[in-house]
Amino acid sequence: MNESTRNADVLIIGGGLSGTMLAVQLLRLPGTRRILVIEPRAELGRGEAYSAVELGHTLNGNAARMSVDPDNADDLTQWLTDYIAGGGWPESDQQHVPISELFPPRGIFGLYAQQRLAQAKALSTSIVEHIRAEGVDLQVDAASTLLTLDNGEQVRGNFAVLATGMFPAARTPLTESSGLNAAALDPWDVQAMAQLDSQSTVLIIGSGLTMVDAVVSLEQAGHRGPIEIFSRHGLLPHVRRQPPSWDDFLAADHGLRSPRQLLREVRRQCRFAIDQGIDWQAPLDTVRVHIARLWSQASEREKRQFVRHVRPWWESHHHRSPPLSAQLVARLQGEGRLRIRAASFKGLVPSDEGVAIAVRHRGEPGLTRVSGAALINSSGIEYDWRRVARPLPQQLLKRGLIQPGPLALGIAADAAGAVLDAQGQASQRLFAMGPPLRGMWWESTAVTDVALQAKALATKLTQI
């Protein structure tokens, strides 16, 4: 070991929301420990989602649903109340709803996460240090972990936690690239979109929440031309409303297991709600707390069935659009400017001007060429670490320190987040949280998921 190697009790690799919330929870526990957060971005707490700078790129849930404190559901509402009272986010008063029902811009949410970290630091005897670098390799032995950084430095920790987050398809270099990202505009880059001819046609691949953000970005950039969206099923995210509470029907019936049984019962409950004039989102929202249990007890075959048959429906009904963004999409659709087609992207095709793509419309055998001035890749998140061309995932696979999770979604771990190596052995030193555990829990990415995992993992790390 190099003499200048820094040592810590816990190395947190990735300082987005997950890594930052883990640091907060460690700071809150009794005892004194040194925590190093390795994060190439200038600021902790923001990561991919909360580095957003546009006010229109908002959370997809209202403040009452987005607390980072598992012990206080009103934490964000309380913080936001003070923030707005202090002159922050003056535009919020145009929405005429209580603060708990506001959908904050994600950049402001990042500030909230940072302030919660600052508060926890001020009250703790433990120390959190941000090392601004990317972890590129990791070695693990029985007693410790050794992380190599992209500047050549090495840092050692009793434990290391992979809080490396999401790899959005639009921004992730892949081992086998179709060249799509090189030809496409970043969905969140308003400046680049402002360079387009405002009347030109823009093509978007994918119709989930990244697409919704991309449409907000185009609007902000002054784009007023046609937007053609292609996605396999042609489904748009539903808008998030504030449904009333509903009986937790899954808590009462643990016999419901297979995706088919579950879907049938959820549909029955939704119809029942609609018949009574109640929003179908009410019964659907009760399912959320059971997802991890249902997913982890499902067989491999049932998981595959769910992904093949239920996933598109789940994504569009569960991962809902913030109301203002949904209103924009609906308005553009109504004006005939935005069209959504059920069609699969089949590749880029040569074009003298702008971009051209080949798509296969659902139910049609042949390919269709579509052209436009620009293309945006909104095809979601790359969860398969074998395809992510970043040094750390590749090195961890090469060293046999990790193995792909169920259905190659993220990486495998035990129920406490201890990472499974290539032989299936749970590590005593290496842990993971948040999006890398997608395959273990299905929903492992949202604010509330990572907040809960951070608390449980912090406790675990201080008890080993």
Ligand X SMILES: Cc1cc2nc3c(=O)[nH]c(=O)nc-3n(C[C@H](O)[C@H](O)[C@H](O)COP(=O)(O)OP(=O)(O)OC[C@H]3O[C@@H](n4cnc5c(N)ncnc54)[C@H](O)[C@@H]3O)c2cc1C
Residues that bind ligand X (CB under 6 A): 13-19, 38-41, 47-49, 59-61, 134-135, 163-166, 168, 392, 434-435, 445-447, 450
Q: Report in angstroms how near the CB of residue 204 gets to ligand X at its nearest.
A: 15
The closest alpha carbon to 204, from 234, 179, 177, 174, belongs to 234
* Residue placing its CB nearer to ligand X in the complex, 354 or 391: 391
* Residue placing its CB nearer to ligand X in the complex, 19 or 323: 19
DSSP secondary structure of 142-201: SS-EEEEETTS-EEEEEEEEE-----BGGG--BSS--SHHHHSB-TT-HHHHHTS-TTS-
Q: Report in angstroms how near the CB of residue 19 gets to ligand X at its nearest.
A: 6
- Cβ atoms within 10 A of the Cβ of 255, count? 6
Distance of CA 207 to the CA centre of its chain: 16
- Cβ atoms within 10 A of the Cβ of 320, count? 21
Q: Report in angstroms how near the CB of residue 450 gets to ligand X at its nearest.
A: 5
Q: Report in angstroms how near the CB of residue 109 gets to ligand X at its nearest.
A: 8
Q: How many helices (H) and strands (E) does the chain have?
A: 16, 14
DSSP secondary structure of 88-135: --GGGGGG-S-GGG---BHHHHHHHHHHHHHHHHHT-SSEEEEE-S-E
* Residue placing its CB nearer to ligand X in the complex, 167 or 201: 167
Q: Report in angstroms how near the CB of residue 435 gets to ligand X at its nearest.
A: 5
* Residue placing its CB nearer to ligand X in the complex, 137 or 265: 137
Q: Say how far apart CA 298 and CA 372 lie, in whole Å.
A: 43
- Please give the structure tokens belonging to residue 166: 């999401």
Q: Report in angstroms how near the CB of residue 133 gets to ligand X at its nearest.
A: 7
* Residue placing its CB nearer to ligand X in the complex, 47 or 107: 47
Q: Say how far apart CA 51 and CA 16 lie, in whole Å.
A: 9
Distance of CA 368 to the CA centre of its chain: 32
> In the beta sheet, which residues pair with residue 204?
229, 376
Q: Report in angstroms how near the CB of residue 371 gets to ligand X at its nearest.
A: 27
Handedness of CA 141, 145, 149, 154 (dihedral sign): negative
* Residue placing its CB nearer to ligand X in the complex, 19 or 283: 19
* Residue placing its CB nearer to ligand X in the complex, 91 or 352: 91
Whether 14 contacts 164, CB under 8 Å? yes
Q: Report in angstroms how near the CB of residue 51 gets to ligand X at its nearest.
A: 8
- Please give the structure tokens belonging to residue 226: 């046609």
Q: Report in angstroms how near the CB of residue 436 gets to ligand X at its nearest.
A: 8
* Residue placing its CB nearer to ligand X in the complex, 18 or 269: 18
* Residue placing its CB nearer to ligand X in the complex, 13 or 262: 13
Whether 60 contacts 322, CB under 8 Å? yes
- Amino acid (1-letter code) at residue 31: G
